[in-house]
């Protein structure tokens, strides 16, 4: 009888230990997944109705295994989540983009976004957003998006701000980013507390190449909520581009190789005169032809020293003023077995 009781107790202890070990595995833990996010909460603050309000929860794969984001969902229709880059290799970045639905909702709103990861292990991460959508201020359009613009080109968009409330409500100051100039027209007062402003937002001709996004801040004479943000963005098309802008070679052991391809595109035909990398572990095989589109294989050979490699590569051309382009290459070398 005593031996049976000891045997039963041993079985019980073994079962408890097994359950605890199972729960401690990466497959059941959320912490490993949460560590990949730079932040897990965001406050949109106060935004106008109809204004564009977006935030990217940046996620970076800090592990050797590939990560796959299976889906996202929101607890409230006031926030619409989407996935930016669902498959992440080691050190590769993606994002969960949260868009505040300012067209259909007003007032104080909050939501929990659930991110479902199915590889390398199942996990869920909760992200939270909140903000105040004003019902008395409306932007038309909801943001200024200049889109793709050639260098030196100046373009303009008009924004209409409508207010319904106090008859003495006014915009007293406008804070703008350095990429734009703003011409503000006098307010139009329609009576019964209805006031409208029209602003011409002009992109400066000296904005550097590349994509940018910023905010215009309208400061009002409201007692409490005086600052109302407004998103403005644009992309100054470069004369030379490299795709992808970031190349991940993955995890390799000493002596192993991996080959990827760079796509280099110009606005006019050009020749690649050189590729400056600074290290010997990368091999490039560019063509000597003159054309607008070049495909350049790049081969990485892992050396004997383990660790992470992050290297910027410069593409040299015969275009005017020695136009160059660059990309970032990353790789991880594991110790030899």
| Shared-domain flag, residues 248 and 299 | yes
> Is residue 249 a contact partner of residue 330, using CB atoms and an 8 Å limit?
yes
| Amino acid 224: pLDDT | 67
CA 114 vs. chain centroid, Å, equals 18
Boundary (domain end) residue, out of 236, 256, 272: 236
In angstroms, the CA 309 to CA 290 distance is 32
- Asked if residue 283 belongs to a domain, the reply is yes
Note whether residue 325 is domain-resident.
yes
pLDDT value for 211: 87
Tell me if the pTM is above 0.75: no
Domain termination site, one of 182, 206, 236: 236
Residues 42, 120: one domain? Answer: yes
User: Is residue 125 domain-shared with residue 47, that is, in the same domain?
Assistant: yes
Q: What range does the domain containing 196 cover?
A: 144-236
Tokens of 191: 């009576």
pLDDT score at 175: 93
* Domains identified in the chain, total number: 3
Question: How many CB atoms lie under 10 A from the CB of residue 130?
Answer: 16
Predicted confidence at residue 27, as pLDDT, reads 44
Residues 286 and 229 placed together within one structural domain of the fold: no
Q: pLDDT digits over 182-221, tens only?
A: 998 888 988 778 899 999 999 998 888 888 899 999 998 8
Q: What six digits make up the tokens of 229?
A: 């943000």
Are 227 and 185 within one domain?
Answer: yes
Q: CA nearest 36: which of 107, 98, 104, 117?
A: 117
**Boundary (domain end) residue, out of 186, 206, 236:** 236
| Closest-CA residue to 260 (of 226, 291, 299) | 299
pLDDT on residue 29: 54
Residues 99, 121 within the same domain: yes
Distance, in Å, from the CA atom of 213 to the CA atom of 254, rounded to the nearest integer, reads: 42
Q: Is residue 23 part of a domain?
A: no
- Indicate whether 203 and 273 sit together in one domain: no
The CA R_g of the chain, rounded to the nearest whole Å, is 27
In a domain, 321, yes or no: yes
Both 250 and 217 in one domain: the answer is: no
Whether 19 maps to a domain, the answer reads: no
Residues 311 and 245 in one domain: yes
Q: Per the domain annotation, does 120 fall within a domain?
A: yes
Q: Assess whether 120 and 208 both reside in one domain.
A: no
The H or E element spanning position 300 is strand 291-301
CATH number at residue 271: 2.60.40.10
Strand partners, 9: none
Asked whether residue 322 falls in the same domain as residue 297, the answer is yes
Residue 219 burial by CB count (10 A; 0-12/13-18/19+): exposed, middle or buried? middle
In a shared domain, residues 42 and 131: yes
CB 182 within 8 A of CB 195: no
Question: What is the token pair recorded at 152?
Answer: 């030196």
Tell whether 258 is covered by a domain.
yes
Q: How far is Cα of residue 86 from the mean position of the Cα atoms in its chain?
A: 12
> Can you list the residues of the chain whose pLDDT is less than 70?
1-29, 224, 321-322
Q: Can you give the pLDDT at residue 142? A: 87
Whether 44 is in a domain gets the answer: yes
Contact by Cβ (8 Å): 202, 182: yes
Q: Is the dihedral of CA 110, 113, 114, 120 positive or negative?
A: negative
């Amino acid at each position: 009888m005593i031996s049976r009781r000891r045997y039963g107790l041993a079985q019980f202890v073994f079962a408890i230990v097994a359950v605890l070990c199972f729960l401690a595995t990466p497959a059941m833990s959320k912490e490993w997944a949460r560590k990949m996010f730079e932040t897990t909460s965001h406050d949109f603050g106060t935004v106008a109705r109809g204004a564009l309000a977006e935030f990217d929860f940046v996620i970076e794969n800090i592990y050797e295994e590939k990560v796959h984001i299976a889906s996202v969902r929101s607890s409230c229709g006031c926030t619409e989540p989407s996935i930016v880059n669902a498959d992440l290799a080691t050190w590769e970045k993606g994002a969960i983009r949260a868009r505040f639905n300012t067209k259909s909702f007003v007032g104080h709103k909050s939501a929990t976004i659930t991110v479902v990861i199915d590889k390398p292990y199942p996990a869920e991460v909760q992200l939270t957003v909140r903000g105040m959508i004003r019902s008395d201020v409306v932007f038309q359009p909801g943001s200024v998006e200049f889109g793709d613009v050639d260098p030196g080109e100046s373009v303009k968009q008009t924004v209409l701000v409508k207010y319904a409330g106090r008859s003495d409500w006014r915009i007293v100051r406008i804070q703008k980013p350095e990429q734009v100039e703003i011409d503000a027209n006098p307010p139009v007062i329609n009576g019964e507390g209805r006031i409208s402003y029209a602003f011409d937002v002009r992109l400066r001709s000296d904005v550097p190449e590349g994509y940018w996004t910023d905010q215009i801040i309208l400061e009002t004479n409201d007692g409490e909520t005086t600052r109302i943000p407004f998103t403005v963005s644009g992309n100054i098309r470069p004369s030379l581009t490299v795709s992808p802008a970031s190349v991940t070679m993955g995890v390799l052991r000493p002596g192993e190789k991996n080959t990827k391809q760079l796509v280099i595109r110009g606005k006019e035909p050009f020749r690649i005169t050189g590729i400056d990398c600074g290290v010997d572990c990368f091999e490039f095989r560019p063509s000597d032809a003159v054309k607008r589109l070049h495909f350049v294989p790049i081969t990485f050979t892992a050396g004997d020293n383990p660790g992470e490699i992050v290297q910027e590569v410069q593409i040299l051309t015969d275009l005017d003023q020695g136009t160059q382009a660059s990309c970032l290459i990353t790789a991880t070398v594991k110790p030899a077995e």
